[in-house]
Amino acid sequence: MRKNILITGASSGLGLGMATEFAKKGHNLALCARRLENLIALKEQLLSLNPNIDVYVYQLDVNDHQAVFRVFEQCQKDMQQIDRIIVNAGMGKGASIGTGLFNANLQTAETNFIAALAQCEAAMTIFRQQNSGHLVTMSSISALRGFRRAMTVYAATKAAITSLSEGIRIDVMHTPIKVTCVHPGFIRTDINKSVKNAPFIVDLTTGCKALVKAINKEQANVYVPTYPWALLQWIIRIAPISTLRKMS
């Protein structure tokens, strides 16, 4: 059992949902996010849910790359060992390329990939020192192809996460360090709350239960919820562009 788990972007959305599910299962948690007051409130909720676990909270802006290393190192000291790190912090701002919203697209690119790279670097530094650990990265079903409008840069960053994760996995093959890349389908969070017609969308609790179940299997690449996305991912890979246009 991966007893001690660090989650970034834990104050809301998938991070909060996963923290809740892991707390129910008895894991100690280190929760990182920009909004410290939200983390403190979440800590109280988790301890009321399961008073037998330890919960640590750390204010962290993942775009402050040096802070990522400092906070992860502090977490390792506080927990003595980190068994799993979930690189979850991300955002979904953006618009079609060339429509005047470069800054929003840039912010998404920096947060979803450059900041994720910093988190992976910090996580793998710890895991290499320990010679153990489970790195979990949060990609997306959208990583499989290109998408339009607000999804264009978002999908590109998630494709980069999938590739980055595979490269790390190859690098540590035949070691006690495992790497899982998670590709969620549509799970209702603040990022997509304005999206009305997302196919096969599930609520946050359902989605996070599926995420935790998949993460605990420690497979290389997982598609969540398994039904229908484990099947649909093959269809998406070969679908004509006209079909992708209708999906976004």
- Structural domain spans, the chain: 4-247
Q: Is the pLDDT of residue 243 over 90?
A: no
Over the chain, what is the mean pLDDT?
95
Question: 4-53 pLDDT, tens per residue?
Answer: 999 999 999 999 999 999 999 999 999 999 999 999 999 999 999 999 99
- C-alpha span between 212 and 19 (Å, rounded): 9
pLDDT tier, 65 (very low <50, low <70, confident <90, very high otherwise): very high
Question: 117-174 pLDDT, tens per residue?
Answer: 999 999 999 999 999 999 999 999 999 999 999 999 999 999 999 999 999 999 999 9
CATH architecture of 4-247: 3-Layer(aba) Sandwich (3.40)
Is residue 223 annotated as part of the catalytic site, yes or no?
no
User: Which residue is catalytic, options 56, 58, 154, 227?
Assistant: 154
- pTM, two decimals, is 0.95
Over residues 234-241, mean pLDDT: 92
pLDDT tier, 196 (very low <50, low <70, confident <90, very high otherwise): low
